[in-house]
Chains A and B, each alone.
Chain A
Amino acid sequence: MGRTLIEKIMSSHGGGNCGPGDVVWIDIDNRTARDFAGASVVGNLEKYGGDSPIAEKSKTFFTFDCNVPANTIPYANNQQRIRIFARKHDLKVYDVDAGIGSHVVIEEKFARPGTTTVGTDSHLNIMGSVGAFGQGMGDVDIAYAFKTGKVWFEVPESIRVTLEGLPADGTEAKDIALAMLRRFSSHELLGKSIEIYGPWVQSASLEDCVTLSSLATEMGAIIALIPPNDNVLEFFGITRNEAVYADSDAAYLEDYTLDIEGLKPLIAAPPSPTNVFPVSEKTDVKVDGVFIGSCTNGTYKDLKYAAELLKGRKVAPGVMLKVVPATRATWARLLGEGLLKDIFDAGGIVSNAGCGGCASGQIGMTGEGEVQISTSNRNFKGKQGKGNTYLAGIGTAVASAVLGRIASVHDLKEVL
């Protein structure tokens, strides 16, 4: 019997001949903690870590992205506590300038196809985008990983999802993720490892894979693994033989197909990422603010697309447009290519790299009754403030900012 992608990754990391339901100790290649919960990781290590709290320094690091630079004293204290611990144990800190840790780990090519990464970020399963295992965990788990290099894991059952057909022009990776949330809600894939196949993922860019995989958490899945395509292999400079793929005769708990042929832009209305509608059904909703960024839609490709759409256009009067590049490298590239100027000239605010709108209000919160279009991944009640957050892709976000109401990128063509 063949094996699924997650079973192969776990097997190659100490899991032996494991199958679904087996609890195995797996070796972790990258052990990370953020400024959020990182201080508690340090606390656990100080309490339980003994004389040698770090198993392998070269595989262990901190990434600050949640509250950067700290805008509350408790966060500032936590970050400083981490820095002091890191200096003492000679660990690298990707500090407040670095950007979103999960993206840094891919940019630095630490999270390569087939590897394992853990950290205190529930979207760390974003590593599924490169055919690697990643998992967000709490501070106890992560402290344990820092100290021993291992975590226990119950091998999940695998579900294969095949996306059939190709979406319409102007439809993005985010819309496909929303289509999956609409179909599967947050229950059907709960606790499962999903593998995504089909013509769209075969030719998707690395950035689009990141967007799609980043919504696995909202689907309730352990991870959404995308078998590395040519674009991803090229990014890492490796061949198919150096990546890991599921066996052709692997056994899946379920085998679903989802028709995305001709799919048009979608939007998730509050209060849940699974509350999905066609954008065309929500065009009478007036918009107060737009956030573009996050680990879901904050890549160079995403922001370049936003800048191109904004070039020569203006944000509607009274609408805030807040843009946060995912990483410092993204920032540098946008800066060098003059793309930030297009965003600025259109009336946008550009903040330093980080988690932006998702965390503790790095770039502001919403007030009572405020309608925000966000390219992020969560719109739960109270998550980004008192207002009402809708989740959408870049095209919808920009069009809504320019038109002052929910709109798709197709509506934008009428402007200018």
Chain B
Amino acid sequence: MAHDMILKGRLWILSENGKLFSDIDTDMIYHNAHLAVTDIDKMGQYAFGNLEGYRDFSSQARPGDLVLAGENFGSGSSRQHAVDCFKALGVQAVIARSFGAIYKRNAINSGFPIIELPDLPDEPFNQFDQIELNLEDGTLSAWDNRYQGNPMSEVARDIYLAGGLFQYAEKM
């Protein structure tokens, strides 16, 4: 399960005024009031704690869920917490039209899958649809809908399959 290339689960669609939520920054994902937390297991409770409309995410999310957002997800600070809080909750992956550059690195390095689908429409599926995300070819599908995104880069895939940057480095 940990390093599957095909992920299946329930999809949280983050939207704002009928559009995919864009520019969700790291303070909305994981507020700076909780930055001193270093134990990953304690980070889950703060996920989206500062995101309007989704403040109850941490109590409603289930292990295996996936999250979908608009452009520039994870812009802002370099905090690893903004990735780790999802791992703590058992969220399998985050899908977005695009990601902030540092967020992308942090996700890749900790072996947390993220997939970019630049051409995603605002209502690709219904909230909580069961979806299938193929990391290998970058497709996201449910029912008859299928969207083509960017496949995982080679480095991202290698680090993901190794289980993280340090584990990957050991194999080099």
A residues apposed to B, CB below 8 Å: 23, 36-37, 39-40, 43-44, 48, 66, 72, 74-75, 77-78, 120-122, 124, 135-141, 143-144, 148, 152, 154, 186-187, 190-191, 217, 220, 222, 272, 359-360, 378, 380-383
CB–CB B75/A186 < 8 A = yes
CA distance A155 to B48 in the complex (A): 31
Report the minimum CB–CB distance from B157 to chain A (whole Å): 11
CA distance A30 to B106 in the complex (A): 19
B residues apposed to A, CB below 8 Å: 23, 25, 27-28, 31-33, 35-38, 50, 52, 71-72, 75-80, 83, 98, 100-102, 105-106, 109-110, 153-155, 164-166, 169
Report the minimum CB–CB distance from A347 to chain B (whole Å): 28
Could you show 30 A-B contacts with beta carbons less than 8 Å apart?
A: A23-B154, A37-B78, A43-B38, A78-B38, A122-B78, A124-B78, A137-B102, A138-B79, A138-B105, A138-B106, A138-B109, A138-B110, A140-B80, A140-B166, A141-B105, A143-B166, A144-B109, A144-B169, A154-B155, A187-B72, A187-B98, A190-B72, A190-B101, A191-B101, A217-B76, A222-B101, A360-B33, A381-B50, A382-B28, A383-B25
Closest residue of A by beta carbon distance from B167: A48
CB–CB A141/B165 < 8 A = yes
CB-based closest 9 A-B pairs? A74-B36, A138-B80, A138-B106, A136-B78, A48-B166, A140-B109, A122-B78, A122-B77, A382-B50
A44 contacts across to B, CB distance below 8 A: 166
A137 contacts across to B, CB distance below 8 A: 78, 102, 105-106
Closest residue of A by beta carbon distance from B104: A191
Report the minimum CB–CB distance from A404 to chain B (whole Å): 28
From the candidates B38, B72, B154, B164, name the one contacting A186 in the complex (CB within 8 A). Answer: B72
From the candidates B33, B50, B79, name the one contacting A37 in the complex (CB within 8 A). Answer: B79
CA distance A222 to B78 in the complex (A): 12
CA distance A359 to B33 in the complex (A): 9
B77 contacts across to A, CB distance below 8 A: 122, 136
CB–CB B109/A141 < 8 A = yes
CA distance A138 to B103 in the complex (A): 8
A135 contacts across to B, CB distance below 8 A: 102
CA distance A75 to B25 in the complex (A): 22
CA distance A299 to B37 in the complex (A): 31
A124 contacts across to B, CB distance below 8 A: 78
A120 contacts across to B, CB distance below 8 A: 78
A121 contacts across to B, CB distance below 8 A: 78
From the candidates B27, B36, B100, B153, name the one contacting A23 in the complex (CB within 8 A). Answer: B153
From the candidates A74, A75, A380, name the one contacting B28 in the complex (CB within 8 A). Answer: A380
CB–CB A36/B35 < 8 A = yes
Q: Can you name 8 extra interface pairs (CB under 8 A) apart from A138-B106, A190-B101?
A: A37-B78, A78-B36, A140-B106, A140-B164, A144-B109, A144-B165, A190-B72, A220-B101
CB–CB B76/A380 < 8 A = yes
B110 contacts across to A, CB distance below 8 A: 138, 140
